[in-house]
Structure 1
Amino acid sequence: MSIAVSSVRPLDHCVFTHPEAWWTTMGNTSSWDRSSTNTPVPIEVVDGAQTCVQYVQKNLGIALDYQTETLPVLDHYLREARAQGSPHTHALIASVAGCYLGELLRARHPLCWEPLAQDQLLWSLSAPSITIFPVAMAHVALVGPKAEKQWEVFRFAPPLRQALTRRLQALPVVSDDEYVAPSTRVEVVDMAFEWLEATNNKHAHDHEPAEPEE
């Protein structure tokens, strides 16, 4: 699937870290050791992700497998739940779907869960230059594009935000509903880490010692 830009500017409603913070936290994410934080995955997240798999299996007869290939199944499940559920069930579904999304992203990228906030919509994973709020991400997908301005789903350092905005604006336009779908959000995160890796590689190359002249 090719990601595309919503008719709303895609990163306008994100909150971004201060530029100075970016320069002090920017690091080689490919070598950032998640285990060095000594922070295990919270049991609430593990249970929530497993519950999401069970809900989708029960309702659609398809097993989620923490791979991007089955994310369109989660997209469909959340759209169906939007039409059928109540605010109470929406909160529960957003919680478990967010846990699943967080674990899928953690498996793909060097991200760590931050200590869980009391408000599940503030649960987050982070790496240098990027913070992701997966429960809020699932909530927006579940409630619909109208919630996009109300909740922070990404937090990017300014240079990363600018690079992503340029890349997304160069792609074809899709509907707001597709833009807030989990499969599209994960593609945005993939793009972010691709840019971080390329930037880190360039930075390392620029600082390699020059070959001695003969």
Structure 2
Amino acid sequence: MTESARTAPPSQVAELALACVDYVRRAVGAELDYTPDTLPILDEYLRKARGTAQAEIVRLVAPAVGAYFGEVLRRSFDCRWHAPGSEFSSWRVEFARCFLYFNPIGMAVEAIQLEDTAGLGATIVTSDDALADLRAQLERAAPVRVEDYYALTTRFEVIDQIVHFLMVRSRELGTGREYDADFYRAQAKDEPPAQA
């Protein structure tokens, strides 16, 4: 278990993730336990949910699904939530041992709509100097169907590969460090860094 996994998530994230657990239990009769093994169940839930009113699903379900997905990530990797206020588009998970962040709620919207969405922060952000090598690494992967590309199970696997790649790269270059909340606020152009 990572240090981040021992630290409770923000209350609004925890509440939304619990709502996701409840939605899935009611819809498919399965219990989510915040492990990567439950992501295929969540993907199946989203496949079934796509048949109903799209706008309603995105408004009600995506925040809960994204919070659950972010919690699976937080418990699996050394990352933390940045979740100020109730504007979901500003939320993200930030990794402590490599420079990597994105919005799991944006990824949930993409998993529902099966297309990229602008303005929701679903794009994975890392340092510019690692980007070319990372893209080359990911392009070697076998092509997948659109539905599989946006599936949260696939996203988790890709994030796992990215984290591994960035950690190995950092070790090889001797550039390992901890990335704290102030660093991310500065990089993501949020509010000014907290004063000590």
**Class of the TM-score when normalised by the shorter of the 2 chains:** 0.7 to 0.9
Q: 1:180: which partner in 2?
A: 150
State the AA in 1 paired with 2:164.
E
Cα 1:171–1:115 shift into 2, 3 Å:
closer
Q: How many residues align?
A: 170
The separation in 2 between residues aligned to 1:157 and 1:106, in whole angstroms, is 20
Q: CA deviation at 1:150?
A: 5.7
State the AA in 1 paired with 2:70.
G
State the AA in 2 paired with 1:51.
A
State the AA in 2 paired with 1:82.
R
Alignment of structure 1 residues 1-214 onto 2, 5 Å: 34=4, 40-127=8-95, 128-145=98-115, 147-148=116-117, 151-153=120-122, 154-204=124-174
Structure 1 gaps, min length 5: 1-30, 206-214
- 8 A contact 1:66–1:104 mirrored in 2: yes
The separation in 2 between residues aligned to 1:150 and 1:123, in whole angstroms, is 12
- 8 A contact 2:105–2:120 mirrored in 1: no
Q: 1:85-131: per-residue Cα shift (whole Å, max 9, x none)?
A: 34123211000001001110001111111142442133111124111
Taking structure 1 as the reference length, what is the TM-score of the superposition? 0.71
The separation in 2 between residues aligned to 1:94 and 1:51, in whole angstroms, is 11
Provide the secondary structure at the position in 2 that maps to 1:84.
coil
Q: CA deviation at 1:148?
A: 4.0
- 8 A contact 1:111–1:126 mirrored in 2: yes
State the AA in 1 paired with 2:100.
I
Structure 2 gaps, min length 5: 176-196
The separation in 2 between residues aligned to 1:162 and 1:101, in whole angstroms, is 27
Larger radius of gyration: 1
Provide the secondary structure at the position in 2 that maps to 1:113.
strand
State the AA in 1 paired with 2:130.
L
Quick one: percent identity of the two aligned structures? 28
Provide the secondary structure at the position in 2 that maps to 1:131.
strand
The separation in 1 between residues aligned to 2:162 and 2:117, in whole angstroms, is 19
CA-atom RMSD in angstroms? 2.3
